[in-house]
């Protein structure tokens, strides 16, 4: 019964609802259903849109796929740009970051691949370009200029210098090809990449023939001598270039022979043009030397052909008696050359005799005599520090053996040597120690004292290559002192005791 009661109550409340309320309720339910259906539809549409849109990364290069870049420069990479793109909604406005892989070595010529990547939700994209690092810069040629330089009359233009420097190859000066055409010089050089550089220069010519200036003048006077040296000259061309070393001298001066000579100085360039100058050389005799004969009793002891093993002993004896003598020396015993210096330092006179003392050599001709003489002159200088003017002809001035080798040679030499200021000595007393038959000290001393006693002034011939002759000297000195003689060394003014020349 209770159940029935409740059913009845229900029926009673439904009965209370208005028709309007029922309608409203229905509409509400319907809207909910419509909304739910719309929602489902929307979700389906959205999902479809995402699938259809298919968002993905798109990347593209800025600039060309192949990029030419200069070696040694910094790479200017235009880069790449990346965006998200979809089929439905199109490209997004914001770029997404791009990673760059691969870095070209800009100091090295080559081809380098550069890759650009962009990623989005595990979906990346990439693109790449090839960078070609190349050398397209030509080398640089630098021409040097010497201030005030003007081309040379003799040899034309002398290169002032140049350099060629390349950005890759460095100094390639050695590779420069240089050509001179007329008044221009062309330079060209190519680097290892084939880039060529060129340069040219204009040659400044101010050519006029050189002046040859003769030092000492166009006419010079020179005392006769064996060692002639031209006073000198200089040649300067119109551009101020010194061409002295190109001057050629022709003509001949015989410096030992008094006379007038002409020398021609000339300089010729490659075009055959010539500049010249002439000089007159007057060879004049050296000042005349007057002979002074001493009034007091004087003996000039002279010793030929040394130095030898006996010379030191002879010098000892002379020193003991404070006597001076003269040595006409030779060059064939070098081990005793130092005796020449000793004799000189001890106040004795040194004169030239002969280097070889071989007649066929020293009398072969005039020049042979001079060569022999000069050798001795130098030897004496080396030992004494002084040049001597004294000499004695091998065999004396009256020798006739020289005629076999050169007729008239002694006559010629006597004049030449005198003109040159040399003084030759013969002798007035022969000790006989060489050809005179004296074989003992006693005989030598006898010959000398007998000869000297007849004259106030004597020039005595001995040889310090003979021991017995040297041994005779002490008794000669003693005799001389006892008889009031002074033993002196010869000098240029001394009594020459000349013999008659026989050749
Ligand atoms: Zn001799």
Q: Using one digit for the tens of pLDDT, what is the confidence trace for 195-219?
A: 999 999 998 776 677 889 999 999 9
Q: Is the pLDDT of residue 11 over 80?
A: no
How far does the centroid of ligand 1 lie from the alpha carbon of residue 462, in Å?
9
Specify the pLDDT at position 12: 53
Cα distance between residue 390 and residue 302, in whole Å: 12
Mean pLDDT of 6-15: 52
SS3 341: helix
How far does the centroid of ligand 1 lie from the alpha carbon of residue 329, in Å?
8
Specify the pLDDT at position 369: 98
How far does the centroid of ligand 1 lie from the alpha carbon of residue 501, in Å?
17
**44-53, long-range: CB within 8 Å, 24+ apart, which pairs?**
49/88, 52/87, 52/88, 53/86, 53/87, 53/88, 53/89
How far does the centroid of ligand 1 lie from the alpha carbon of residue 305, in Å?
5
How far does the centroid of ligand 1 lie from the alpha carbon of residue 503, in Å?
17
**Which residues have CB under 8 Å from 442's CB, separation 6+?**
472
How far does the centroid of ligand 1 lie from the alpha carbon of residue 7, in Å?
188
Spatial contact of 397 and 499, defined as CB atoms under 8 Å apart: yes
Residue 373: pLDDT band with limits 50, 70, 90? very high
Q: Using one digit for the tens of pLDDT, what is the confidence trace for 277-299?
A: 999 999 999 999 999 999 999 99
How far does the centroid of ligand 1 lie from the alpha carbon of residue 353, in Å?
7
Cα distance between residue 372 and residue 378, in whole Å: 10
How far does the centroid of ligand 1 lie from the alpha carbon of residue 294, in Å?
26
How far does the centroid of ligand 1 lie from the alpha carbon of residue 311, in Å?
15
How far does the centroid of ligand 1 lie from the alpha carbon of residue 316, in Å?
22
Specify the pLDDT at position 14: 56
How far does the centroid of ligand 1 lie from the alpha carbon of residue 390, in Å?
14
How far does the centroid of ligand 1 lie from the alpha carbon of residue 420, in Å?
22
> Position of tokens 């020396």?
329
How far does the centroid of ligand 1 lie from the alpha carbon of residue 300, in Å?
17
SS3 252: coil
Specify the pLDDT at position 16: 64
How far does the centroid of ligand 1 lie from the alpha carbon of residue 152, in Å?
58
Burial (0-12, 13-18, 19+ Cβ within 10 Å), 103: exposed
CA angle, residues 345, 226, 368, in degrees to nearest 5: 100
How far does the centroid of ligand 1 lie from the alpha carbon of residue 357, in Å?
7
How far does the centroid of ligand 1 lie from the alpha carbon of residue 223, in Å?
29
Mean pLDDT of 44-66: 89
Q: Is the pLDDT of residue 56 over 50?
A: yes
How far does the centroid of ligand 1 lie from the alpha carbon of residue 289, in Å?
25
Residues of 60-83 as b/e, b for ≥16 C-beta within 10 angstroms?
ebeeeeebebebeeeeebeebbbb
Q: Using one digit for the tens of pLDDT, what is the confidence trace for 65-109?
A: 999 999 999 999 999 999 988 888 888 888 889 999 999 999 999
> Position of tokens 């298919």?
54
Q: Using one digit for the tens of pLDDT, what is the confidence trace for 314-372?
A: 999 999 999 999 999 999 999 999 999 999 999 999 999 999 999 999 999 999 999 99
How far does the centroid of ligand 1 lie from the alpha carbon of residue 303, in Å?
9
How far does the centroid of ligand 1 lie from the alpha carbon of residue 375, in Å?
16
For the four alpha carbons of 213, 215, 221 and 223, in that order, the dihedral sign comes to negative
How far does the centroid of ligand 1 lie from the alpha carbon of residue 211, in Å?
53
State both tokens at 274. Answer: 């010539």
Cα distance between residue 477 and residue 285, in whole Å: 39
How far does the centroid of ligand 1 lie from the alpha carbon of residue 478, in Å?
26
Specify the pLDDT at position 459: 98
Specify the pLDDT at position 342: 98
Spatial contact of 466 and 303, defined as CB atoms under 8 Å apart: no
- Beta strands across the sheet bearing 184-190: 177-181, 184-190, 196-202
Q: Where are the beta strands (DSSP E) in 416-499?
A: 423-424, 429-430, 457-463, 486-487
Mean pLDDT of 370-385: 98
How far does the centroid of ligand 1 lie from the alpha carbon of residue 330, in Å?
8
Residue 309: pLDDT band with limits 50, 70, 90? very high
Q: Is the pLDDT of residue 163 over 80?
A: yes
How far does the centroid of ligand 1 lie from the alpha carbon of residue 393, in Å?
8
Specify the pLDDT at position 182: 79
Spatial contact of 459 and 497, defined as CB atoms under 8 Å apart: yes
**340-344, long-range: CB within 8 Å, 24+ apart, which pairs?**
340/307, 340/379, 340/380, 340/383, 340/384, 341/383, 341/384, 342/312, 342/315, 343/307, 343/311, 343/315, 344/383, 344/384, 344/386
- The proportion of the chain whose per-residue pLDDT surpasses 90, expressed as a percent, equals 77
**Residue-averaged pLDDT of the chain:** 92
**374 vs 49: which has the higher pLDDT:** 374
3-state helix, strand, coil in the chain (%, to 5): 30, 30, 40
Specify the pLDDT at position 289: 92
Cα distance between residue 358 and residue 360, in whole Å: 6
How far does the centroid of ligand 1 lie from the alpha carbon of residue 350, in Å?
14
How far does the centroid of ligand 1 lie from the alpha carbon of residue 352, in Å?
10
How far does the centroid of ligand 1 lie from the alpha carbon of residue 304, in Å?
5
Spatial contact of 466 and 497, defined as CB atoms under 8 Å apart: no
Specify the pLDDT at position 1: 43
How far does the centroid of ligand 1 lie from the alpha carbon of residue 395, in Å?
6
Q: Which domains does the chain have, with CATH numbers?
A: 56-134 (2.60.40.10), 140-206 (2.60.40), 211-284 (2.60.40.10), 298-487 (3.20.20.370)
How far does the centroid of ligand 1 lie from the alpha carbon of residue 196, in Å?
81
State both tokens at 490. Answer: 């010869």
How far does the centroid of ligand 1 lie from the alpha carbon of residue 405, in Å?
17
How far does the centroid of ligand 1 lie from the alpha carbon of residue 166, in Å?
78
How far does the centroid of ligand 1 lie from the alpha carbon of residue 373, in Å?
13
Q: How far is CA 256 from the centre of its chain?
A: 39
- Looking only at the bridges linking them, the beta strands covering 429-430 and 259-268 are unpaired
How far does the centroid of ligand 1 lie from the alpha carbon of residue 309, in Å?
16
SS3 169: coil
Q: Is the pLDDT of residue 2 over 70?
A: no
Q: Using one digit for the tens of pLDDT, what is the confidence trace for 102-157?
A: 999 999 999 999 999 998 877 789 999 999 999 999 999 999 998 888 777 887 78
How far does the centroid of ligand 1 lie from the alpha carbon of residue 394, in Å?
5
């Amino acid at each position: 019964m209770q159940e029935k009661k409740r059913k009845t109550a229900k029926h009673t409340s439904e009965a209370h609802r208005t028709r309007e309320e029922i309608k409203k309720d229905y509409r509400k339910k319907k809207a909910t259903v419509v909304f739910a259906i719309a929602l489902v539809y929307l979700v389906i549409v959205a999902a479809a849109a995402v699938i259809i849109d298919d968002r993905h990364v798109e990347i593209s290069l800025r600039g060309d796929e192949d990029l030419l870049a200069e070696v040694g420069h910094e790479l200017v990479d235009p880069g790449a740009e990346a965006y998200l793109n979809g089929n439905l909604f199109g490209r997004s406005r914001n770029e997404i970051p791009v990673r760059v892989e691969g870095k070209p070595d800009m100091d090295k010529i080559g081809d380098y691949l550069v890759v650009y990547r962009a990623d989005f939700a595990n979906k990346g994209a990439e693109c790449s370009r090839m960078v070609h690092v190349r050398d397209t810069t030509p080398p640089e040629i630098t021409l040097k200029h010497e201030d005030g330089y003007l081309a040379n009359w003799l040899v034309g233009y002398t290169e002032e210098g140049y350099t060629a420097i390349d950005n890759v190859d460095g100094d390639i000066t050695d590779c420069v090809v240089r050509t001179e055409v007329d008044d221009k010089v062309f330079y060209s050089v190519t680097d290892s990449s084939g880039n060529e550089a060129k340069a040219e220069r204009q040659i400044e010519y101010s050519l006029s023939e050189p002046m040859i200036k003769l030092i000492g003048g166009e006419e010079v006077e020179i005392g006769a001598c064996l060692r002639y040296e031209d006073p000198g000259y200089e040649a300067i061309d119109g551009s101020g270039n010194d061409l002295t070393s190109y001057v050629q001298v022709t003509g001949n001066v015989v410096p030992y022979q008094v006379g007038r000579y002409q020398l021609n100085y000339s300089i010729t360039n490659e075009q055959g043009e010539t500049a010249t100058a002439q000089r007159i050389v007057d060879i004049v005799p050296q000042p005349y030397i007057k002979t002074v004969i001493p009034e007091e009793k004087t003996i000039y002891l002279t010793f030929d052909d040394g130095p030898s093993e006996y010379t030191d002993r002879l010098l000892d004896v002379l020193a003991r008696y404070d006597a001076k003598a003269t040595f006409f020396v030779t060059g064939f015993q070098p081990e005793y050359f130092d005796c020449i210096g000793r004799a000189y330092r001890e106040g004795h006179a040194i004169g030239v005799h002969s280097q070889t003392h071989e007649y066929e050599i020293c009398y072969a001709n005039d020049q042979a005599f001079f060569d022999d003489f000069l050798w001795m002159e130098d030897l004496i200088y080396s030992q004494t520090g002084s040049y001597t003017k004294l000499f004695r002809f091998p065999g004396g001035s009256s020798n006739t053996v020289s005629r076999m080798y050169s007729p008239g040679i002694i006559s010629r030499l006597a004049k030449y040597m005198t003109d040159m200021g040399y003084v030759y000595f013969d002798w007035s007393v022969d000790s006989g120690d060489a050809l005179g038959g004296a074989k003992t000290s006693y005989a030598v001393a006898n010959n000398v004292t007998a000869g000297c006693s007849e004259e106030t002034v004597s020039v005595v011939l001995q040889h310090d290559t003979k021991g017995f002759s040297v041994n005779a000297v002490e008794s000669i000195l003693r005799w001389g002192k006892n008889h009031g003689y002074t033993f002196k060394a010869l000098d240029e003014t001394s009594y020459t005791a000349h013999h008659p020349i026989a050749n």
